[in-house]
A and B are shown apart, each in its own frame.
Chain A
Amino acid sequence: MTDRNATEIIVWDPLVRLFHWTLVIAFTLAYFSQEGPFEDLLERMDENWVQNVHVWAGYTIAGLLLFRLFWGFAGPRHARFGDFVRGPRETLRYVWDVLTLRAPRYLGHNPAGGAMVVILLLSLTITVVAGLMLYGADKGLGPLAGLLLDSSEAAIHSIEEVHAFFANLTLLLVVGHLVGVIWESLLHRENLARAMITGRKRA
């Protein structure tokens, strides 16, 4: 055991891990307070309370996204976009290597994981912005209320569609992310989920 500890190093800094798990909780709350298998249960709960959970989960995600953008430039090595954002060709090549079980191991995000991080952040950003717009246009609440209160019904409907589409896309991406994590964990015989908790990986 001491041997193993000696060869493990910190890869994910504490803020990246805090960001990751807070985002997991906030997205879960935001998604399932509006959609999914709990709709019958939600129907029986206090609407304003449910709405507040949804809105504050959304604000939390907005704050987290701003932090991650900043941390992607100012954070330690493996938190930086420069460490894991690769071009499409390299990314697709890596995906092919993953599928054919030849993919090399990366200490930080591999090119496919890095692409997933970027796509997830973008999808979440669109979801949050559309959510804020909807909150302002439909309810007349939030920071965009003054700007969007006079929106037409058609415009509100379109914003609603965008918000729902990207929320669902994000959920789909999360599933893809989980498949990737499990696949890579098996391929390289390491527990990547555990690494996102402890921050440590085999050197």
Chain B
Amino acid sequence: MNLRQLVNAAALALVTTAAATTAFAAEEPKAASQPAAATAPATTGITKEQAIEMALKAHPGEVTKAYEDTKKGKKTWEVKIKGNDGKKWEMYYDIKTGELVAEEVD
């Protein structure tokens, strides 16, 4: 393979990979029924502490982790609990509304 062929091939490979990655790179959360995100501050939102409190009320136990995560296209607080019932719970609360988005058990 001569140099020119090599450069052509490299360019082609780069374009293919770049095209593939950009096509997949739609990272914006797609929440089905959400209006265009307004710039208004989240006045009605909940704090991480409130999410932990709600999670512990639902499943008493030890909180192992709590952090921001995306679930079903919504920004949520994910709270992981090692429950007194011996199960590992994962609770997801919508940061904006406080609504329970998902509840998973291991």
Contact = CB atoms under 8 A, between A and B. Distances in A.
B17 A138 contact: no
A71 B13 CA distance: 9
A132 B29 contact: no
A76 to B, nearest CB: 6
A14 B26 contact: no
Nearest to B64: A43
A150 B9 contact: no
Contacts, number: 84
Interface string B51-89: 000000000000001011111111000100000000000
A67 B73 contact: no
A74 to B, nearest CB: 8
Contacts of A119: none
A143 B27 CA distance: 8
A95 interface: no
Contacts of A183: none
B72 A149 contact: yes
Contact residues of B: prevailing secondary structure: mixed
Contact of B71 (A13, A60, A63, A138): A138
* Interface residue range, chain B: 20 to 34
Given A13-B1, A149-B72, A150-B32, A62 B24 contact: yes
A48 B71 contact: no
Nearest to B26: A143
Interface in A1-26: 10, 13-15, 18
18 contacts: A10-B1, A15-B10, A47-B65, A59-B24, A66-B16, A66-B20, A67-B16, A75-B9, A132-B24, A138-B72, A140-B31, A140-B70, A140-B71, A140-B72, A141-B27, A141-B29, A143-B26, A145-B30
Interface of A: 10, 13-15, 18, 43, 47-48, 59-60, 62-64, 66-67, 70-71, 75-76, 132, 138-143, 145-146, 149-150
Given A140-B29, A140-B73, A141-B73, 20 more contacts: A13-B1, A47-B69, A59-B20, A60-B17, A62-B20, A62-B24, A64-B17, A67-B16, A67-B17, A67-B20, A132-B24, A138-B71, A139-B71, A139-B72, A141-B70, A142-B26, A143-B26, A145-B73, A149-B73, A150-B32
